[in-house]
Structure 1
């Protein structure tokens, strides 16, 4: 399939640099059967990996859904890449967005879209086009991602500030009118994240007016639980404690207590 008049933007973190190098494929002609021959080698590599991932996911989804959903998976990735480009442009141009503009973009750049949304096609129940375009489906995604983004920003505030990056905490402090302390701002953001979690849980449990199958809604709720664990004490990406837990699950043998059969 070809997707015309779409702009695909890439930014890749170069080794030993803190800022991003941009690769943009303006007016990219999306052809999932080939790789554009007018791009840099790095962009070709990224495009090839994305193409293979999209095609593989689309093929698996077709088995469950009985219809092609590749166009939706392409859109999910494009939305993510465009949101990342926007953040990188803010950084390179030294712009300070409003908190509202930041959050409207940041829940997408948190990058749960390509993880959770395609997975809902693989759970089992059929998802009609109108279902994935429904306000309920998109609200499930937004609540889950907003909660994760806020928790990430709280735990990563110190590290990102040292790198010169803006996040929800720093923007709250820049734009606030009541001169609250950093700790007060952090607690306020945690409260907002918790409200998003509760609203998500309420939406998952809603049955009467729901158009999204319960099994699919559970995927959003389960990811929110993972996020709570991930950011419970610190930034899960740099947490030695969490890394130790993961390694123990993978590498340490499970010891079963012998039980008498008598």
Structure 2
């Protein structure tokens, strides 16, 4: 961690990525002091290490041309979907104090795993063609492979969609649970909001490579909001509702 990046990194790209990750983690740690009364840098480092390990496992599968079981794949894939560094550090910044006991509690882990499993399967469905062309395995292709040719692509997708729906319902149940819940509601809401983002990203295709999604994001970030147009639209909607 405390290294001279100019001498230990194997390439300029690695140097840039490591420096950016370290800077981000340190910034989150510093900001967490105000909210949590302590620096959670070590917690965030562990989140990133878990992600790196899961990605390394996938790289090894690809390098050795291995075909993992569905259980082994999913146990690793919900982590490699990479929502950990996005959602989990944010829990320390939304307001409620989280002790290490709560942060490492089974309830929070269940929330994260359920949300990430939905995201991974949505990604695998929409990214099946692209990943197959790249020689990568995912939940859809593995389901077909382990069926010895009995399960078709359509069957596999239907199966994954069923799992996604079950997990989505389970996530909502966990978020709304009050009795016996240790995780503050504000924190649990982050998982449900991310679930909504995932549904938007994968509603038509793979949102990470979709030109339509890029256009939508660019419009939100770059195109100015014209107040007059909003007022006109609001007025038109009001009139139509009256009629």
Same fold (TM over 0.5): yes
Structure 2 matches for 1:1-262, cutoff 5 A? 30-31=1-2, 35=5, 37-42=7-12, 43-176=14-147, 179-250=150-221, 251-254=223-226, 255-257=229-231
* Residue 238 of structure 2: aligned partner: none
Give a deviation string over 1:5-33, Cα, whole Å, max 9, x none: xxxxxxxxxxxxxxxxxxxxxxxxx32x7
Give, in whole Å, the separation in 2 of the partners of 1:256 and 1:167.
Answer: 43
**Residue 111 of structure 1: CA displacement?**
0.4
Give, in whole Å, the separation in 1 of the partners of 2:180 and 2:196.
Answer: 24
**Aligned residue pairs, count:** 229
Indicate how the Cα distance of structure 1 residues 161 and 244 shifts in structure 2: closer, same or farther if over 3 A, else same: same
Q: Which of the two has greater helix per residue?
A: 2
Give a deviation string over 1:44-76, Cα, whole Å, max 9, x none: 332222111110011011110001211110000
Which one scores higher on RCO, CA 8 angstroms, separation ≥ 6?
2
Give, in whole Å, the separation in 1 of the partners of 2:62 and 2:119.
Answer: 21
Give, in whole Å, the separation in 2 of the partners of 1:119 and 1:171.
Answer: 33
Give, in whole Å, the separation in 2 of the partners of 1:244 and 1:124.
Answer: 33
Give, in whole Å, the separation in 2 of the partners of 1:230 and 1:168.
Answer: 18
Give a deviation string over 1:137-175, Cα, whole Å, max 9, x none: 111110010100000000000111011110000000011
Indicate conservation of the 8 Å contact 2:143/2:151, yes or no: no
**Residue 36 of structure 1: CA displacement?**
7.7
Report the 3-state secondary structure (helix = DSSP H, G, I; strand = E; otherwise coil) of the residue aligned with 1:37. helix
**Residue 84 of structure 1: CA displacement?**
0.6
Normalising by the residue count of structure 2, what TM-score does the alignment of the two structures yield?
Answer: 0.89
Indicate how the Cα distance of structure 1 residues 127 and 102 shifts in structure 2: closer, same or farther if over 3 A, else same: same
**Unmatched 5+ stretches in structure 2:** 236-243
